[in-house]
Amino acid sequence: MAGASKPRLGLIGFGAFGRLTARYLAASFQVIAHDPAATDGEGVATLADLGAAAACPVVILAVPVGALEETLAAITPHLQPDALVIDVGSVKVKPARAMQAALPPGVRIVGTHPLFGPQSARDGIAGFRIAVCEVRGAKAARRVAAFCRRALTLKVFQVSPEDHDREAATVQGLTHLIARVLLKMEPLPTRMTTASFERLMQAVDMVRHDSPAVFHAIERDNPYAAGVRDRFFALAEMARGELDEG
Amino acid sequence: MAGASKPRLGLIGFGAFGRLTARYLAASFQVIAHDPAATDGEGVATLADLGAAAACPVVILAVPVGALEETLAAITPHLQPDALVIDVGSVKVKPARAMQAALPPGVRIVGTHPLFGPQSARDGIAGFRIAVCEVRGAKAARRVAAFCRRALTLKVFQVSPEDHDREAATVQGLTHLIARVLLKMEPLPTRMTTASFERLMQAVDMVRHDSPAVFHAIERDNPYAAGVRDRFFALAEMARGELDEG
């Protein structure tokens, strides 16, 4: 059977992003997913207990950044000595440190951040972006990058966790903060709209359904996010002052 | 000659928006433009002195909102008693009042706000939006609305100046304020970008070249803009407080 001959891949977490991951990896792997909340593999994964998923040669952690440490503690006893562990969180410095600290020395570690989500990936992911960070094992990082490029046709950026978080603090930190404020201002106008306002609303719509956990990871678990926020608000206050003045 | 038989239309102001206006009205009118700074009608208008432009049966004021009152004073002596005067400013309450106060009683007045600019109109204006406000003369407003709909294939919203400014305070006030702050934060990331961040950047790019006069009209001459800003900043401060707290 073709399915049985594919390499096994453990997927810890079968939420919105876990399911998206399984959908695109099912062509290349037999996906063994674990998630206490999941009841159906949706044709792209076989649900299993934590031990079975964690014992695969490749293990992807698709859990919220806030749940990463407890997940690492739970999977460690089941990992193969030379397993490859990959996370997919929206920030990279903190998870890289947590994985380094928790996982046995033979385990190779790669951090990834797919710069898209279930909303934007609705019509496919070809040409979308992913950041790949070497954490432990240069060869493993290159393999993951090559797979993303060739099999998933993603645009790959190999960067350090620090460089990633520095850019993401602006890219995601600002977008989510602005979107969150605009969502609180709803209902917003829909009649006399301009092209630029419509783009702004499209940006809002793309993150509208992101979970509070994603928002918190982006804003709180990124060591550079508070600095970007401070800068944005300082400049905004300056612009506001100039306007209210005259 | 076909050109000579078209009705004459006076255009006061031949800046970026004046030229855009002439480009789309040249098919239906002989455009007589006046602008001390212009040296070339660019094939869509005949440059003339203020008196000649203001003496046309229809006169469009394509000047900054801040220059409207002095423009009204300058054209009044030249206007035909039953002229139709139309402004194209980004706000409508203040110009409507100024035109009501300054223009002789027989002159009909229509306020318009094309919800697009030279940037967004680069590939045509079909389907774009315009607000049309009756200021003096219901029939004149209906005629302008019908022309915009049929000859220019615009989507027309007939609203009061107050309703216009209330929506525009959010649509334009927020977009321009956010864009202005983001422009001050440049250079912004271009590598690890998300789809939502890219939409945000597209919104910024669309207003990047708008003049300070446009920004000031939107933020200062709209009676509702300060209230929208206050609400945006209050909500932003709340979100920021929640994030910096825990």
The Cα B132–Cα B39 span in angstroms is: 31
Q: What angle do CA B225, B227, B231 make, to 5 degrees?
A: 115
Cross-chain residue pair A199–B199, CB shorter than 8 Å: yes
Contact B173, B219 (CB under 8 A): yes
Which residue of chain A comes nearest to B204, CA vs CA?
Answer: A196
Of A116, A174, A181, the CB nearest to B195: A116
My answer on whether B148 and B50 are in the same domain is yes
pLDDT at A245: 74
Distance CA A83, CA A108 (A): 6
Helix (H) or strand (E) holding A8: strand A8-12
Which amino acid appears at position B31 of this protein? Answer: V
Mark whether A175 and A212 lie in a shared domain.
yes
Specify the DSSP class assigned to residue A90: S
How high is the pLDDT of residue B195?
92
pLDDT-above-70 percentage for chain B: 98
Q: Which two tokens stand for residue A48?
A: 């299993």
Split into its structural domains, chain A has a count of 2
Q: Where in A92-190 does DSSP place strands (E)? A: 108-114, 129-136, 155-158
Cβ-based contacts under 8 A for chains A and B: 163
On the question of pLDDT at A35 being above 70, the answer is yes
Across the interface, which of A167, A175, A195 has its CB nearest the CB of B200? A175
- CA nearest neighbour of A11 among A30, A31, A25: A31
Together in a domain, B47 and B126: yes
Contacts with A200 from chain B: Cβ below 8 Å:
174-175, 178, 199-200, 203
- Residue A44 C-alpha, separation from nearest chain B C-alpha, in angstroms: 26
- What's the whole-number mean pLDDT along residues A97-104? 98
In a domain, B242, yes or no: no
Instruction: Let me know if residue B243 belongs to a domain.
Output: no
- Residue B93 shares a structural domain with residue B65: yes
Beta partners for residue A110, in sequence order: A86, A134
Q: Are residues B222 and B175 in the same domain?
A: yes
Which pLDDT belongs to residue A246? Answer: 57
Is residue B217, in this structure, part of any structural domain at all? yes
pLDDT band of residue B246 (cuts 50, 70, 90) is low
pLDDT at A132: 98
Kindly identify which residue of chain A lies nearest to residue B156, measuring between CA atoms: A192
Q: Which residue of A has its CA nearest to B228?
A: A185
Domain identity same for A64 and A151: yes
Give, to the nearest 10 degrees, the angle between helix B212-220 and helix B161-184. Answer: 130
Burial classification of residue A119, based on how many CB atoms lie within 10 Å of its CB (0-12 exposed, 13-18 middle, 19 or more buried)? middle
**Residue B214 identity:** V
pLDDT band at A241; cut points 50, 70, 90: confident
Do A55 and A87 fall within a single domain? Answer: yes
Q: Which residue of A has its CA nearest to B194?
A: A115
B123/chain A closest Cα distance in angstroms: 13
pLDDT in tens, A148-175: 999 999 999 999 999 999 999 999 999 9
My answer on whether B155 and B186 are in the same domain is: no
The reply to whether B246 falls in a domain is no
pLDDT, tens digit, 9 for 90 and up, residues B190-224: 999 999 999 999 999 999 988 888 898 999 999 99
Nearest CB to B191; choose among A157, A235, A243: A157
Is residue A94 classed as helix, strand or coil in its secondary structure? helix
Cβ distance A194 to B175 less than 8 Å, yes or no, reads: yes
Residue at a domain's end among A131, A159, A187: A159
Residue ending a domain, among A139, A159, A179, is A159
Nearest by CB: A192 against B168, B174, B197: B168
Q: Identify which of A116, A156, A154, A110 has the alpha carbon closest to the alpha carbon of residue A133.
A: A110
pLDDT digits (tens, 9 = 90+) for B69-80: 999 999 999 999
Nearest CA in chain A to B205: A196
Confidence of residue A1 (pLDDT cuts 50, 70, 90): very low
Q: Say if residue B124 is in the same domain as residue B171.
A: no
- CA diameter of chain B: 76
Count other C-beta atoms under 10 Å from residue B1's C-beta.
Answer: 5
**Residue B1 pLDDT class (50, 70, 90 cuts):** very low
B244 occurs within a structural domain: no
- How far apart CA B224 and CA B229 sit, in angstroms, is 9
Closest Cβ–Cβ partner in A194, A199, A235 for B172: A194
Q: Which helix (H) or strand (E) holds B31?
A: strand B30-34
Is the pLDDT at A4 greater than 70? The verdict is no
| Domain limits for position B27 | 2-159
Mean pLDDT of the A170-185 span: 95
Give me chain B's average pLDDT, please: 95
Determine the average pLDDT of the residues in B47-59: 98
Please indicate, yes or no, whether residues A238 and A171 belong to a single structural domain of this protein. yes
Q: Tell me, what amino acid is at A209?
A: H
pLDDT at B3 over 90: no
Same domain, A142 and A30: yes
- Residues with Cβ within 8 Å of residue A18, at least 6 apart in sequence: A11, A33, A35, A62
Contact B181 A220 (CB under 8 A): no
**DSSP code for B78:** G
CATH number at residue B29: 3.40.50.720
Q: Which of the listed residues B159, B184, B209 is the one where a domain comes to its end? A: B159
Alpha-carbon separation of residue B132 from A49, B129, B160, B216 (angstroms): 64, 10, 8, 21
DSSP track, A27-88: TTSEEEEE-TT----TTT-EE--HHHHHTSSEEEE-S-GGGHHHHHHHHGGGS-TT-EEEE-
Pair A122, A187 in one domain: no
Give CB contacts under 8 A, 24+ apart, made by B178-181. B178/A178, B178/A200, B178/B203, B178/B204, B179/A196, B179/B203, B179/B204, B179/B207, B179/B208, B180/A239, B180/B215, B181/A232, B181/A235, B181/A236, B181/A239
B210 inside domain = yes
Q: Which residue has the higher pLDDT, B122 or B157?
A: B157
